[in-house]
Amino acid sequence: MTHDATSLYGFINAKLRARIGLMRQSHSIEDLLKANSMVEAVSVLRDSAYTEVAQAYDRTGDLQQMELVLLHNEIEMYREVAKYLEGKPADFVSMLLGKIEEDNLKNAIRLWYSSIIRHRPMRYRSAYLFKEKILSDIDWIALINATSWKDVCKALVHSPYHVIVNQFSQQQIQETGLFVLENKLDRQWYDQLMASTNRLSSTDREVAQSIFLIDIDLKNLLMMVRFGWYHKMQSDVLGSLLLPWGKVFNSKEVHMYVNASAETRDPFTIIDRFYPGLGSMVHQVAEEKKGSVHPDELVALQNLRIEGYLHQRRQAVYHKTLASDPFTIGVSLAYFFLYKEENSMIKAILNGKYYGYDEDYIRGVLA
């Protein structure tokens, strides 16, 4: 690493570590949990770094407007860090905004699908979509007002998503839904992500790939459980869903699992291979709930247990990154994760308070 790069990371990481320290010292999450009402929760935010979120509630009384402010702040957080950086690391951080853009696009297309294909009155929800430019040139207003799939494609003509959406017709979408389209959009973003990591310096590339390959492993595992085991997808469809990176994808156990008949697949072989102990935790859920819940609910509870465990693993990776080489992009990535995690917790707590759930229930959901 050059002297200039070391100095740059030294400045940025000192700034971000100070922010992380403030996040850890903040009592906002605990105070939100202890608030006895939505009004009290808003008061907590008003006296914190999230005062703009409280102001949104003061103006509108609308929970989803508060969430829109949280999303706006998250986007600005990425842009701010990108400005501190230079060259390829700055490009990489900007590229990470692509996931937020893609998720916003999927939400917009889901609203179009509900309104135009399902004939449900969902257009009012378009008020909660982010309509400013994130990365690409998307005509969000035209997309929201689209009355046909051709109009959807036209609104995306100057974006990298046009190539994918243009592969589908309105009849295809009507007959098969959005699942395949959304999977292709996800795959496109991960392709861009991995290509972007390859353009980083060797040190930054190693750090970034060590983090995102774990994310990919976890995503592949969840897809194999959810779609390969629970939904019993055919081998060719299941195989097309998996992201082609990481140790999980490249293992012989996964190859055998995907190609086995849907009725004989055993996800616990793979779970125990990569995450020893998780399988017994999932079996424990089945024992605890046996006979007391519907089989579909039991599978949902088992999926939640898997997701909770994998989230803890992801947390551990990011906290380890904070303790590693301070002169890499790792501190920025850890900061993004911690910021998003705090945002997610605030949204979950506000939803709980809005719908009148008590503190213990909300704590249980967050756990």
Rounded Cα distance between 92 and 76, Å, is: 15
Q: What separation, in Å, do the N-terminal and C-terminal C-alpha atoms of the chain show? A: 40
pLDDT on residue 123 = 67
**Residue 10 clears pLDDT 90, i.e. is over it:** no
Of 310, 305, 285, whose CA–CA distance to 295 is shortest? 285
- Cα–Cα distance list, 153 to 119, 123, 313 (Å): 20, 18, 39
**Is 66 within 8 Å of 346 (Cβ atoms)?**
no
Per residue in 177-215, pLDDT tens? 999 999 999 999 999 999 999 999 999 999 999 899 988
Per residue in 12-30, pLDDT tens? 888 898 998 888 888 889 9
pLDDT on residue 134 = 96
Each domain of the chain, given as residue ranges in start order, spans: 86-200, 201-328
**Residue 253 clears pLDDT 70, i.e. is over it:** yes
Rounded Cα distance between 313 and 263, Å, is: 30
**Residue 78 clears pLDDT 90, i.e. is over it:** yes
**Residue 4 clears pLDDT 70, i.e. is over it:** no
- For residues 170-174, average pLDDT: 96
Write down the residue that tokens 């905004």 correspond to. 97
DSSP H helices in the chain:
3-25, 28-34, 38-46, 51-60, 63-84, 87-112, 140-144, 149-155, 162-165, 170-176, 179-198, 202-223, 235-241, 246-249, 252-259, 267-274, 278-289, 295-322, 330-354, 359-366
**Is 11 within 8 Å of 80 (Cβ atoms)?**
no
Per residue in 231-251, pLDDT tens? 899 999 999 999 999 999 999
pLDDT on residue 146 = 94
- Cα–Cα distance list, 127 to 7, 186, 354 (Å): 44, 24, 19
Lowest mean pLDDT among 48-52, 153-157, 289-293: 289-293
pLDDT on residue 157 = 97
**Residue 291 clears pLDDT 80, i.e. is over it:** no
Provide φ and ψ at 319, rounded to 5°: -70, -35
- For residues 118-130, average pLDDT: 82
